[in-house]
Amino acid sequence: MTPPKNVITLVDKLRKDIGEHDYRYYVLAEPTISDAQYNRMMRELIELEARYPELMSPDSPTQRVSGEPTKEFPTVLHEVPMLSLSNAYNDDEVRDFDRRVRSFLPRQPFRYVCELKFDGVAIRLQYRDGILNIGATRGDGTYGDEITSNLKTIRSIPLRLQTSERNLQNIEVRGEVYMEKKDFERLNKERERTGEKPFANPRNATAGTLKLQDPKIVSRRPLRFSAFYLRSESTELASHYENLSILRTIKIPVNEHLRLCETIDDALAYWQEWSMRREDLPYEIDGVVIKVDSLRQRSILGAIAKSPRWATALKFSARQAETKLMGIRLQVGRIGTVTPVADLEPVSLGGTIVSRATLHNADYIGSLDIRVNDRVIVEKGGDVIPKISAVVKEKRSPGTKPFRMPSKCPECGSKLYRPKGEANYFCENSQCPAQIKGRIEHFASRGAMDIEGLGGAVIEQLLEERIVKNYGDLYDLKEHAERLASLERWGEKSVENLLRSIEMSKKQPFHRLLYAIGIRHVGSGIAQLFARHFRSIEELRSASVEDLVHTEGIGPEIAESVVRFLSDKKNLEILGRLRKTGLMLAAKATREKAPLAGKTFVLTGALTRFTREEAKRLIEEQGGSVVSSVSSRTDFVIVGEEAGSKRDKAKKMGIRVLDENQFLELLDKP
């Protein structure tokens, strides 16, 4: 049915109005209608679009959450590379920057624009005919990930530009996606409640969210956007400052605190001012940015390596405060790592009250000679966990004693063990109450036994109710089904689901189990190596440290850790139970068919989880082959850190590029 004219007009008006109200709400924070009125408009639009599907359009506000989950983000080329900024940490470095700028612009007047440096994630938006058609991450500056569906969920990013100006229909906008502090805290609380790992800081939360494959989840995360760059395809723009005001007129959010500075002293004052005022902002900034305003002058200045000569970041120093060290406590982590933690007299730092700080390890305490009752300097860098960076020795009171590492675990009393050459002490008792939850969590996790529905909150409940005491008990859970079903948040159905996933986990191959049982230093790559050389737990157990170090890729630390784990009586007892329940304590005799038969691989970049030789052998064992250069006959390119041209070439040619984790997953497939 062709839509009547008045419907077309109405749909168009609703879209414009909703766009306007999004802007008022999400950018100006000054809504002019109630939520109910807004929802009514949205519902009306949804109904009309359902009735007249031909009116559907990707820039409709109903399409903020549209794309289906993707397996992998496509790669896009940035026509104009996305550079990063050089940094300056003190006045001298800022003045050096200014001198260099002036040497490139002799006898020319110029001015700077100063902006806040958001601590978020840089992105690029491309509008075609006024409609948002591509959104991408910075990636390596030349190629980024296309994450349009995720960026469309951010309400402060307009899907359609609010302007009829011809020159502004085809533009590129760059800026920062970020999360406000209060939203970040709320998100983390929620994650803790559901047993998910909290994010370390708002930037990590933002980056993690933008990487999600499902826009539906992204849309529920409170991301925001602030622009700092405009490029138009049809007109030459002259001034950055003017560009930012153009962006504002077309309702793209631009930060309100930017300032035009005629001299470097003005810029230094701006930096100083914001280093004092940063706590008052609702979002995190890690410095300010100073940029030459004129785009013509910018092109004279050009760039060196990956950063322009016309801009630099003036970073803030870490937030510091002085306080008293009340005590040193030992904390026992998931795999028994014992870390000393400082109990502090509460002190305000970076807008929060700090009463604990990490002390890393005994050596760190020794090297700074940190003593209980000392006045100490606490520091907060990019992460949420503060650390002690110095002792104010002049204020040390008489009678304090150097710190001595206790010899016993504070949780279970077992003797602490410090492996040769390592900085940390460990509690090796796998039944230590401090470790039980973490160990079960690891056992059930994705790369391990992959038990769906067994997250942190559930494990805590099972422990509290004393239904389980270790991961071996999971396989007896069916005996407690009735009791479990009667507990809060449980019902027959959910118990049934959990039991089914536990049952399914019995089929996980030997190397997964070897990883899941939580032997220190045995990650999933090493577990696979072991599973190839030692076909069962018995074989592994009968090997000595010497035997183990003769296995390619196994060093003395790993070997020693395995031998210790497998000679512990309690561990063996649990392994015995796992065997009885039918778990794979041995590798399958043969593989039916080499799973990578005929596939060609290229390895590039620095691999971190195994050596090139190991990776090659793993591939060859499964029937694949490794060659040195990328061609149309290549099936996969495995990239490590700092992979360069081979990765780019593969992406251009549409060849599958896998990082080390994805590679392991590929090997994992039966």
Interface with ligand IVH includes 370 (CB under 6 A)?
no
For ligand IVH, the closer of residues 126 and 430 by Cβ is: 126
Interface with ligand IVH includes 228 (CB under 6 A)?
yes
CB atoms within 10 A of CB 284: 23
From the list 305-313, 342-350, 419-427, 529-537, the region that binds ligand IVH by CB under 6 A is 305-313
CA distance 96 to 88: 9
Interface with ligand IVH includes 308 (CB under 6 A)?
yes
Interface with ligand IVH includes 142 (CB under 6 A)?
no
Among 311, 540, 574, 664, binds ligand IVH (CB under 6 A): 311
Both tokens assigned to 500: 């089914």
How many binding residues for ligand IVH (CB under 6 A)?
A: 14
Going residue by residue from 102 to 141, which x/- string records binding to ligand IVH, judged by CB under 6 A?
-------------x-xx---x---------------x---
For ligand IVH, the closer of residues 116 and 342 by Cβ is: 116
To ligand IVH, the closest distance from the beta carbon of 156 in angstroms equals: 16
Contacts of 407 (CB under 8 A, 6+ apart): 415, 416
Among 57, 63, 66, 84, binds ligand IVH (CB under 6 A): 84
SS3 state of residue 49: helix
CA distance 475 to 376: 49
For ligand IVH, the closer of residues 120 and 350 by Cβ is: 120
To ligand IVH, the closest distance from the beta carbon of 284 in angstroms equals: 10
Catalytic status, residue 117: yes
SS3 state of residue 378: strand
Interface with ligand IVH includes 59 (CB under 6 A)?
no
Contact 45, 15 (CB under 8 A): yes
To ligand IVH, the closest distance from the beta carbon of 368 in angstroms equals: 32
**Given the residues 16, 71, 117, 569, the one annotated as active site:** 117
Q: What are φ and ψ of residue 467, in 5° steps?
A: -80, -35
440, 449, 500, 505: which is closest to 471 by C-alpha?
440
Interface with ligand IVH includes 173 (CB under 6 A)?
no
Interface with ligand IVH includes 274 (CB under 6 A)?
no
Among 261, 289, 427, 587, binds ligand IVH (CB under 6 A): 289
To ligand IVH, the closest distance from the beta carbon of 85 in angstroms equals: 4
Interface with ligand IVH includes 85 (CB under 6 A)?
yes
Interface with ligand IVH includes 278 (CB under 6 A)?
no
To ligand IVH, the closest distance from the beta carbon of 446 in angstroms equals: 30
Q: Residue with CB nearest ligand IVH? A: 122
Contact 171, 249 (CB under 8 A): no
CB contact burial 428-438 (16+ within 10 A = b; e otherwise): bbbbbebbbeb
Interface with ligand IVH includes 83 (CB under 6 A)?
yes
Interface with ligand IVH includes 145 (CB under 6 A)?
no
Contact 568, 428 (CB under 8 A): yes
| DSSP label of 233 | S
Residue type, 473: D
Question: Which H/E stretch holds residue 191?
Answer: helix 181-193
Contact 651, 143 (CB under 8 A): yes
From the list 308-316, 351-359, 564-572, 630-638, the region that binds ligand IVH by CB under 6 A is 308-316
Contact 642, 605 (CB under 8 A): yes
To ligand IVH, the closest distance from the beta carbon of 642 in angstroms equals: 18
Contact 210, 225 (CB under 8 A): no
CB contact burial 163-174 (16+ within 10 A = b; e otherwise): beeeebbbbbbb
From the list 81-89, 126-134, 213-221, 626-634, the region that binds ligand IVH by CB under 6 A is 81-89
Interface with ligand IVH includes 147 (CB under 6 A)?
no
To ligand IVH, the closest distance from the beta carbon of 450 in angstroms equals: 35
CB atoms within 10 A of CB 50: 11
Instruction: Give the strand pairing for 636-639 and 656-658.
Output: parallel
To ligand IVH, the closest distance from the beta carbon of 286 in angstroms equals: 8
561, 559, 661: which is closest to 608 by C-alpha?
661
- Angle (nearest 5°) at CA 282 between 281 and 288: 45
For ligand IVH, the closer of residues 275 and 501 by Cβ is: 275
6, 7, 22, 14: which is closest to 55 by C-alpha?
7
Residues that bind ligand IVH (CB under 6 A): 83-85, 115, 117-118, 122, 138, 176, 228, 289, 308, 311, 313
Q: Active-site residues: which are they?
A: 117
